Structure 1
Amino acid sequence: MRRSLTDWYTEGPLRFGLGIENTFVPQGGPGLRPIDEYELTEHYTRWRSDLDLASGVGAEFLRWGIPWHRVNPEPGRWDWGWTDRVIGRMVELGIRPIIDLLHYGTPLWLEGQFAARDYPQRVAEYAVAAAERYSDLVTDYTPVNEPMIHVLFCGEYGYWPPYLRGEEGAVQLALAIAKGFQATQHGIREMLRDRATFVHVDASMRYVGATDAPEHRETAERLRHQAYLVEDLVTGRVGADHPLLEMLLRHGADEDTLDDLARRPAHPDIMGVNYYPRHSTEVFEPGVHHRGGFADPRPTRDDGVAGLSEVLVEYARRYEAPVMLTETCVTGTVAERIDWLHASVAEIDRLRAGGLEVVGYTWWPLFDMYEWTYRHGSGPRSDHRLTMGLYELVESEGGVERRRTAVADAFAAVAQRSASATWTGTERTMEESR
């Protein structure tokens, strides 16, 4: 029997892994192109060599998403052929899969998307089908990647389906995502029993600057609490004393729904935190109003490792679970990426030495991705490439090639050093722990 993810991490040194960007927003429309990152990056056809790249730099685990819209093309119909091959090869290579079940988009046939009345049942049905299919290969799941980004982009900003807006839209999406999240986790737990391990993952959101200015105080206070809203709902933390209870009730939440969520908490075995030093900290400027998001973004501030430390400590304290850095990088030059790799690993080493249970480090992504602005654009995908990866995406006559950079060499060296290190905190070497 495979050891649980929690034990696998806590019994050794810091584990190093990677992610492959798997945003799926398959619904198009006038002036809107579907987003399928696997299609844009040609991962659907290059998956085998992509997995070899991950293995070649020493990745011990891989955060990788199932494309729900492809494996479930019609209600009740499943097509697992491609995912069978990818997951099987991942395990053959000795890479531990952490499966993203929901990385934004829903199938095209689900009218209303996350706002559909039967969304929680549909997403749980899909999740349990996946867990049953791969019960001999996969035990570790992220039910929803970045649930609060779902709430913002689909509920508050109206960028992605179902295009809801404002606080009312945010509340409707938060409740729907939370109910689906709980149903997913409980369904998989019933299927896999104590072999199942759940890595909850959310985007860290920090707000600084003129947050106490009269024109910003109410919004900034709401956003600080809202950053944790879905995880609070899922883990049964929204009660009479929750600072956003009045907002929830004002915008359509009923006490029975909140009580039901509180009675059926789904706790993380590991709390994953996504932190991007150049994007995770938004700045409120005095007298300047920004809605937030792509259409009207607030400026951001790079708080580096200080911001990283703050969010890891806060998530560990709030949810009383080991934490993992589940996404990080800087979009920049090779030198800038290497500098952040070394600085962020050193900060996590410092936090671990001080007693914080940080169990994993994830560079995101393995290779570059295409920015979500592609959806609203009309030019070639190359106009939207983000230089984030260990490997750069290079357009050629044969498609999108992967070109190794010095970031890959740096990551491999750090991962190897960790894997071969003596972990003095447990008073045994890695060889002894095996």
Structure 2
Amino acid sequence: MRSRSRRMLAAFTAAGTALVLGASPAAARSPAPDRVAPLGAEFLWGVAASGFQSEGSAPDSNWTRYIAAGKTDDPLRDSVDFFHRYRSDIELARELGVKVYRIGIEWARVQPRPGEWDEDGLRFYDTVIAAITDAGMRPMLTLDHWVYPGWEAERGGWANPDIVTDWLANARTVVDRFAGANPLWVTFNEPAFYLVNEMRNGGLPVAAAPAMVDRIAQAHNAIYDYIHTKQNAAMVTSNVAYIPGGADDLISGSVLDRIANKLDYIGIDYYYGLSPDALGFDPADSWRNPLQPEGIYYALDHYSRKFPGRPLYIVENGMPTENGRPRPDGYRRGDNLRDNVYWLQRAKADGMNLLGYNYWSLTDNYEWGSYTPRFGLYTVDVLTDPTLTRKPTDAVPAYAAITRAGGVPADYRPTREPKNCSLVAPVDSCTDPVRLPG
């Protein structure tokens, strides 16, 4: 999950809404069923995390430098110390009954200096991936979750014309090492917001933004081909953050259009909704941002029409709280999880090719500058609890029940009614909105 700028999202939403006001609606939806079917034995339930946000013991990188420069609210410390506690965290995921565990392979950890790969860093990921597979789960490996080595920052980061060469040298080393574990692959996490955060933190001049887009697309396309030479039937994506307000193609399209032919599945991150009675977004108090579980249906529908027949995977979905306290809107984590899963089942029933779902995240972690937003199934008080104890939320038994049953019960009814004419999907939610039965 990522920091978002209120003004940036407001501009995105206004522009996107203007673009779609004259659009033609999709074909009429099926009537709301009285009961929903489970998602089936092949469906991939998962959990997600990133390296920098959870590992601790962080090597020199662009992000350790942003923190040292005072660009964040909280120090990183050792985050939730996944670096030393990965076995127990993987066991927590196994107990949930999930089939996929997403992690990041930190470039800064495995290549601390130009041309040199650290065998200890690579062995760390050997043991983590082995623990995931030994627990009966499939790894999902992210090659770039917004972090690059300090030496690359000194070369200019994504403004450096040679970064693609550097990036690919590391990525090929990672693929060579781990393709045998048959992972799902994510090349770049949310490229559009990667770019935004680099500009916001001073890692990228605004004038270099188009070059970063081109370089990310070039790197993705090259490593996609390389992965397919090393792993039979590889599944590769670059996940995108679904932007409410009809602005998704406007924001994510700059990269997505360049890599569209080299995506084996469409990875989608869905968090927030947008409606006339809840227009504000604020990264400083994300726990107040509006949540609309039916929006996950609209996000899947959008991409199922953009990429007909292509498998869809919700790579991230979750809800923030403020230091684990109840949300102002009263929404509980377990209820939000069940409500989102209900809409996954509706999407599958309506013919969308839904492959899997990851909850963000297994534990609380460092939310790109702050420990206040909490997204974890297990909460961790990094700043006040030196033991870093994993404390289960009400979503832990909820998710375990969901993975056992393949979804919510057939007669489940979401705790939140869908909003008509919601800005989460400005045309469809007015002309042909999703509804609940009855």
2:363/2:376 contact within 8 Å kept: yes
Q: 1:164 aligns with which of 202, 205, 212?
A: 205
Amino acid in structure 2 at the alignment position of 1:162:
G
Aligned pairs, how many? 348
Task: State the alpha-carbon separation in 1 of the partners of residues 275 and 172 from structure 2.
Answer: 37
What is aligned with 2:143? 101
Aligned to 2:351: 355
Please state whether the residue corresponding to 1:125 is helix, strand or coil.
helix
1:90 to 132, 135, 144: 132
Distance, in Å, in 1 between the alignment partners of 2:163 and 2:304 is 30
Structure 1 counterpart of 2:147, one-letter code:
G
Could you say what secondary structure the match of 1:206 adopts? Answer: coil
Q: Is the 8 A contact 2:286 2:320 kept in 1?
A: no
Greater strand share, structure number: 1
AA aligned opposite 1:117: P
Per-residue deviation at 1:303? 5.6
The 5 A counterparts of 1:363-374 are 363-374=359-370
C-alpha distance in 1 between matches for 2:210 and 2:288: 25
C-alpha change, 1:299 and 1:391, in structure 2 (3 Å) is closer
Partner of 1:314: 302
**SS of aligned partner of 2:230:** helix
Does residue 51 of structure 1 match 2:90?
A: yes
The AA in structure 1 aligned to 2:267 is: G
Q: Secondary structure at the match of 1:136?
A: helix
Quick one: structure 1 residues 113 and 129, their matched pair in 2 at CA, closer, same or farther if it must change by over 3 Å?
Answer: same
Deviates more, 1:181-190 or 1:329-338: 329-338
Counterpart pick for 1:125 among 153, 158, 169: 169
Rounded to whole Å, the distance in 2 between the matches of 1:144 and 1:65 is 10
Q: Say if 1:30 and 1:351 are closer, same or farther in 2 by CA, change over 3 A.
A: closer
2:44 is aligned to 15
| Aligned partners of 1:273 and 1:323 also within 8 Å | yes
Q: 1:26 to 1:327 in 2, by over 3 A?
A: same
Tell me by how many angstroms 1:151 deviates.
Answer: 2.0
Secondary structure of the 1:135 match is helix
Range that drifts further, 359-368 or 12-21: 12-21
Instruction: Output the CA distance in 2 between the equivalents of 1:190 and 1:406.
Output: 43
**Structure 1, residues 39-69: CA drift from partner, whole Å, max 9, x if none?**
3111111111111111111111011111111
Task: Using the TM superposition, give the Cα deviation of residue 38 of structure 1 relative to its aligned residue in structure 2, in angstroms.
Answer: 9.5
Q: Is the 8 A contact 1:282 1:300 kept in 2?
A: no
Contact 1:331 1:387 in 2 (8 A): yes
Counterpart residue number, 1:146:
190
> Which residue of the partner structure matches residue 20 of structure 2?
none
1:245 matched residue in structure 2 = none
Question: Contact between 2:159 and 2:204, CA under 8 Å: does it hold in 1?
Answer: no
5+ residue gaps, structure 1: 1-9, 209-219, 236-264, 375-383, 423-434
1:133 Cα deviation from its structure 2 partner: 0.9
Aligned-partner SS, 1:305:
coil
Question: In structure 2, what is the equivalent of residue 411 of structure 1?
Answer: 399
Which residue is 1:244 aligned to?
A: none
Of structures 1 and 2, the one scoring higher in RCO (CA 8 A, sep 6+) is 2
CA distance in 1, matches of 2:245, 2:397: 34
- Cα displacement (A) at 1:99: 0.2
TM-score between both structures, scaled by the size of structure 2: 0.71
Query: Retained in 1: the 8 A contact 2:297–2:346?
Result: no
Residue aligning to 2:435: none
Q: Aligned match of 1:113 in 134, 139, 157?
A: 157
- Note if contact 1:205-1:281 (Cα within 8 Å) is conserved in structure 2: no
Does 2:269 align with 1:274? yes
Tell me the SS of whatever aligns to 2:379.
strand
Question: Once the 2 structures are TM-superposed, how far is the Cα of residue 72 of structure 1 from its aligned partner?
Answer: 0.7
1:329 aligned residue: 318
Relative distance call for 1:206 and 1:33 in structure 2 (3 A) is closer
Separation of aligned partners in 2, 1:66 and 1:234: 21
Partners in 1 of 2:381 and 2:266 — Cα distance? 34
| 1:185 and 2:185 aligned | no
TM-superposed CA distance for 1:402, in Å, is 0.7
Distance 1:81 1:98, change over 3 A: same
Q: Secondary structure at the match of 1:106?
A: coil
The Cα offsets for residues 230-285 of structure 1, whole Å up to 9 and x where unpaired, read as: 111122xxxxxxxxxxxxxxxxxxxxxxxxxxxxx42x1110110003xx549899
List aligned pairs for 1:74-89, cutoff 5 A: 74-79=113-118, 80-89=122-131
The letter for the 1-side match of 2:145 is H
Distance 1:393 1:401 in 2: 6
**Counterparts of 1:234 and 1:55 in 2: how far apart (Å)?**
34
- Measure how far apart 1:128 and its partner are: 1.2
Task: Quickly say closer, same or farther: Cα 1:18–1:412, change in 2 above 3 A.
Answer: same
